[in-house]
Amino acid sequence: MVDKRLRRVVYRYGRQVSAAIVFMAVNLISLEKPDFPKGTGAIVSQLELKPSGPLVLPRIGGPVALDGMSDEEAWKGISPLPFVQMEPNAGAEPSERTEVLLAYDDHYLYLAGRLYDREPKKIFSNSKQRDSGNPSCEWFGIVVDSYNDKENALAFFTTPSGLRWDAAVFNDAQGDQPINISWNTFWDVAAVRNDEGWFAEFRIPFSSLRFQDREGQVVMGVIVWRQIARKNEWDIFPAIPARWGLWSKFKPSRAQEFTLEGVTGRRPMYVTPYLLGGLGRNAELNAARTDYLSRRLVERQAGLDMKYGLSSNLTFDITVNPDFAQVEADDRQINLTRFSLFFPEKRLFFQERSSIFDFTFETSDQNRLFYSRRIGLHEGEKVGIYGGLRLVGRVGDWDLGVMDMQTESAAGLSGENFGVLRLRRQLFNPYSYVGGMVTSRIGQGGAYNVAYGLDSVVRIFGDDYLTLKWAQSFADGKTNNPFSSEPSRYYLNWLRRSIRGLGYGVSISGSGADFDPGMGFQLRDNYTRWVGSVWHGWFPGEKSSLFNHVLELDAFLFLRNGDHLVETFILAPSWRFNSKTGFALFLTPSANYENVPAAFALSERVEVPKGTYRFFDLKVEFATPQRRPLATEMTLDAGSFYDGRRFSVSMSPSWSVISDLELGAFYEYDRLSFPGRGQTLNSHIARVRALYMVSTKFSTSAFIQYSSAARGLIGNIRLRYNPREGTDLYLVYNETLNSDRARVIPRLPLSSGRAVMIKYSHTFGF
């Protein structure tokens, strides 16, 4: 039963929220125009419909010298793909002449782009770094759904500087970040610029794609697109509308199917040993705890990774004594909630093909059954990993993922074995699936945690999808009754996946008191959650300065299972727009109700007491065009906050000075004041990044961050030499400095620790 306090919150803020919605609706509805400009009927039909069957991909007519120009005899007779604009004027012809050729032979998929430009001096190419996602560059590349499962894909892109950017796409490009840019594989590209524009050639081995052949025939989905940065323009094949948001251009379910004949997969084996050496110093308290002593550290390690293609669609990986010394430090954050912070995975071994192990709850990508940072990390500290194995791919109609890792004993934590099994397959139609996952975490002392989950996504019709998930966990010391709701978690959601026209979503989810996935991550325990959303999106058309805008209303309700009282209620209308020139604005006022069951600390001197709170705030996010060399994003969050006030502002400018140098920064200031309790909090976080690229093979990066809450400065400098895929040389310097040394007794040293490490890895192919 919803308690009376919730009703008072809704009544108190309801009139303000309703007024905001009416005001925005009156001002915005007049801007609505047809989704596509008049006079482009033939192209508009392409944006909504695809051919009923696969097209036949032509074979290339001879050898290709990979120089970017695609002027060999081999390319003659191959017809260019028909490109149209996706943004800013959907359905229009590309503003610049674009010729794209796609072909294959027995071993490779080839892509050539003749990307003409009437103003070649304005072509932007502001990065040379591998996997740099600099949005101010010109971009060209391909998205390949190699299994044709309408859910997952691999992306390969380049810029006029010839850099390589590859990524794995998952969840049909739905969500906040449905791509994994840490995925890397073997492929080649060449690019060249001249007074006609820029030109590129790709050569992608089938052994890097993985696929499933049926009687000698392979069907793959393909999307190809070009970005003209200065015009904020995307030209694409096939013609895909932007109604699914930012990631529409990566959407596997909208890819054009192509048939390839006579392609057989190789079974390559790659062996990558590494050597690591380093020197460092740590500051540690002496036995009497009266002073800090400097302890010298020496690091010497070796390890091995092996990758073997068991078939054209199944890959087996082994790692022995892996080390991730070259991985950049986590971003410092200020926690203004009573829940744990979530940090993304940055270690390459756990990033590769990670989408197959995806089992997330609700619409957030944080609550999940499997969270790889549980392996080899404990309370932010490194735990050694003896080794592990992974098997990913497809067996028959089933997507398969198996992982098993063994960690060492460290800091009072016994060695543990981590195992995960993931299975899923298409069901009903190419856009639906059913699957399951099992995780196990077993300690050497007998402690255990086992969890399983069942999930399904079903496309009901059009853009409407039904998602169902169920999971249970069992651990030592728990009752472990499989017929009880206590060790269980569930999620049911109906969502229209489109930001054009009327949209809606409703979900219910919950977690029992004993649900605790030992290899997962979750923010809350023992609750029931209701969410409702309704929105309307407009694409005003060619004559408008806006590309699109959306008016939305969201409501979130969390009930405690024990007493059925409201723990959290949020009512938030919002408006967001994207202009054709690249400006973006997101405006969200919200009414909040919080029932805090126990006091929680925001800092050493500030805490929020137990009690009920009603507060109102406004969040504004603004971004300048990211396609310009100088760009920035800004966020403002201000209003009441529990029984006090909050003012938070952040800014993240980036500057691509030249193609050799990129600069980026982040600054966040948070001020909390609680006059009734005489408590205040002033927090500063600053981050600075610099990247200097001598070439696409050699780069130097520096990352420095400061947190007033941690009262320290962390520095990380990395030199990377990457002459080819699979061969890397890293030189890394790390240091942590204390900014407030007198805050404790004995006085802290200036440096808590520093280290210099060198790591070399080389891949041998067989």
Q: Each residue of 514-573: pLDDT tens digit?
A: 999 999 999 899 999 999 999 999 998 888 889 899 999 999 999 999 888 999 999 999
Instruction: Report the pLDDT value the prediction gives residue 52, as an integer from 0 to 100.
Output: 57
- Given a contact cutoff of 8 angstroms between Cβ atoms, the answer to whether 64 and 104 are in contact is no
Residues sharing a CB contact under 8 Å with residue 137, sequence separation 6 or more, in sequence order = 124, 125, 126, 127, 159, 160, 161, 227, 229, 656
- Given a contact cutoff of 8 angstroms between Cβ atoms, the answer to whether 44 and 99 are in contact is no
Flag the least confident range among 26-40, 229-243, 396-410.
Answer: 26-40
Computed from CA positions of residues 689, 692, 693, 697, in that sequence, does the dihedral angle turn out positive or negative?
A: negative
Provide the residue ranges of all domains of the chain, joining segments of one domain with +.
41-261
Which amino acid, residue 684? H
Residue 461 has pLDDT above 50, yes or no: yes
Residue 195, burial from CB neighbour count under 10 angstroms (0-12, 13-18, 19+): exposed
- Given a contact cutoff of 8 angstroms between Cβ atoms, the answer to whether 327 and 759 are in contact is no
Strand spans (E) along 462-526: 464-475, 488-496, 501-511
pLDDT in tens, 398-455: 889 999 999 998 867 889 999 999 999 988 777 889 999 999 999 988 899 999 999 9
Instruction: Report the pLDDT value the prediction gives residue 363, as an integer from 0 to 100.
Output: 63
Instruction: Report the pLDDT value the prediction gives residue 34, as an integer from 0 to 100.
Output: 43
Q: 346 versus 101: which is more confidently predicted?
A: 101
Residue 487 to residue 489: CA distance in whole angstroms: 7
Residue environment code for 366-389, b if the CB has 16+ CB neighbours within 10 A, otherwise e: bbbbbbbbbbbbbeeeebebebbe
Residue 749 has pLDDT above 60, yes or no: yes
Long-range contacts of 277-282 (CB under 8 A, 24+ apart): 277/301, 277/757, 277/758, 278/325, 278/732, 278/755, 278/756, 278/757, 278/758, 279/755, 279/756, 280/734, 280/753, 280/754, 280/755, 280/756, 280/757, 281/751, 281/753, 281/754, 281/755, 282/752, 282/753
- Give the position of tokens 């550290």: 297
Which of 249, 228, 233, 52 shows the shortest CA–CA distance to 143?
249
Residue 273 has pLDDT above 70, yes or no: yes
- Given a contact cutoff of 8 angstroms between Cβ atoms, the answer to whether 551 and 575 are in contact is yes
Instruction: Report the pLDDT value the prediction gives residue 742, as an integer from 0 to 100.
Output: 83
DSSP H/E element including 270: strand 269-285
Taking CA atoms, 373 is separated from 226, 383, 400, 414, 518, in Å, by: 35, 11, 21, 17, 11
Q: Tell me the mean pLDDT in the region 742-746.
A: 85
Residue 16 has pLDDT above 90, yes or no: no
- Given a contact cutoff of 8 angstroms between Cβ atoms, the answer to whether 672 and 602 are in contact is yes
Instruction: Report the pLDDT value the prediction gives residue 49, as an integer from 0 to 100.
Output: 40
Instruction: Report the pLDDT value the prediction gives residue 18, as an integer from 0 to 100.
Output: 39
Please report the DSSP string for 539-580 in residue order.
Answer: ---TTSSEEEEEEEEEEEEEEETTT--EEEEEEEEEEEEEET
Flag the least confident range among 212-216, 287-291, 440-444, 712-716.
Answer: 212-216
Taking CA atoms, 511 is separated from 33, 212, 420, 435, 454, in Å, by: 44, 38, 21, 20, 15
Phi, psi (rounded to 5 degrees) for 327? -75, 135
Residue 254 to residue 48: CA distance in whole angstroms: 10
Residue 743 has pLDDT above 80, yes or no: yes
Instruction: Report the pLDDT value the prediction gives residue 210, as an integer from 0 to 100.
Output: 79
Q: Tell me the mean pLDDT in the region 715-723.
A: 92
Q: 659 versus 317: which is more confidently predicted?
A: 317
Helix (H, G, I), strand (E, B) or coil at 17: helix
Residue 212 has pLDDT above 50, yes or no: yes
Residues sharing a CB contact under 8 Å with residue 603, sequence separation 6 or more, in sequence order = 681, 683, 709
pLDDT in tens, 69-83: 999 999 998 999 999
Please report the DSSP string for 174-207 in residue order.
Answer: -SS--EETT-----EEEEEEETTEEEEEEEEEHH
Residue 24 has pLDDT above 90, yes or no: no
Tokens of 432: 């639906």
DSSP H/E element including 350: helix 348-351
Residues sharing a CB contact under 8 Å with residue 132, sequence separation 6 or more, in sequence order = 163, 165, 662, 691
Residue 35 has pLDDT above 60, yes or no: no
Instruction: Report the pLDDT value the prediction gives residue 348, as an integer from 0 to 100.
Output: 78
Q: Tell me the mean pLDDT in the region 570-587.
A: 94
Q: Tell me the mean pLDDT in the region 317-342.
A: 86
- How many Cα atoms occupy the beta-carbon half-sphere of 673 within 13 Å? 6
Residues sharing a CB contact under 8 Å with residue 228, sequence separation 6 or more, in sequence order = 95, 96, 117, 138, 234, 235
- Given a contact cutoff of 8 angstroms between Cβ atoms, the answer to whether 18 and 581 are in contact is no
- Kindly indicate the confidence band of residue 365, based on its pLDDT and cuts at 50, 70 and 90: low
Residues sharing a CB contact under 8 Å with residue 142, sequence separation 6 or more, in sequence order = 102, 111, 155, 156, 157, 202, 204, 222, 223, 224
Cβ neighbours around 82 below 10 Å, total: 12
Residue 71 to residue 64: CA distance in whole angstroms: 9
Residue 275 to residue 244: CA distance in whole angstroms: 45
- Kindly indicate the confidence band of residue 352, based on its pLDDT and cuts at 50, 70 and 90: confident
Which of 532, 634, 535 shows the shortest CA–CA distance to 583?
634
- Given a contact cutoff of 8 angstroms between Cβ atoms, the answer to whether 725 and 187 are in contact is yes
Instruction: Report the pLDDT value the prediction gives residue 32, as an integer from 0 to 100.
Output: 38
Residue 658 has pLDDT above 80, yes or no: no
Which of 29, 135, 285 shows the shortest CA–CA distance to 632?
135
Instruction: Report the pLDDT value the prediction gives residue 543, as an integer from 0 to 100.
Output: 84
- Given a contact cutoff of 8 angstroms between Cβ atoms, the answer to whether 369 and 517 are in contact is yes
Task: List for the chain the helix, strand, coil content (%; round to 5).
Answer: 10, 55, 40
Q: Tell me the mean pLDDT in the region 496-522.
A: 94
Long-range contacts of 601-607 (CB under 8 A, 24+ apart): 602/335, 602/336, 602/672, 602/681, 603/681, 603/683, 603/709, 605/679, 605/681, 606/672, 606/674, 606/679, 606/680, 606/681, 607/679
Residues sharing a CB contact under 8 Å with residue 568, sequence separation 6 or more, in sequence order = 556, 557, 558, 592, 593, 594, 595
- Kindly indicate the confidence band of residue 14, based on its pLDDT and cuts at 50, 70 and 90: very low
Residue 93 to residue 95: CA distance in whole angstroms: 6
Which amino acid, residue 78? I
Question: Whole-number mean pLDDT of the chain?
Answer: 87
Long-range contacts of 644-648 (CB under 8 A, 24+ apart): 644/672, 644/673, 644/674, 644/675, 644/676, 644/677, 644/679, 645/672, 645/673, 646/336, 646/617, 646/670, 646/671, 646/672, 647/671, 648/336
CATH number of 41-261: 2.60.40.1190
Instruction: Report the pLDDT value the prediction gives residue 30, as an integer from 0 to 100.
Output: 35
Look at strands 488-496 and 501-511 and give their pairing. antiparallel
Residue 42 has pLDDT above 70, yes or no: no
Residue 49 to residue 663: CA distance in whole angstroms: 43
Which amino acid, residue 301? Q
Instruction: Report the pLDDT value the prediction gives residue 10, as an integer from 0 to 100.
Output: 40
Respond yes or no on whether the N-terminal peptide bond of residue 88 is cis (omega within 30° of 0).
Answer: yes
Residues sharing a CB contact under 8 Å with residue 448, sequence separation 6 or more, in sequence order = 440, 441, 442, 475, 476
> For the chain, what is the total number of helices (H) and then of strands (E)?
4, 42
Tokens of 505: 């979503």
Cα 585 off chain centre by: 21
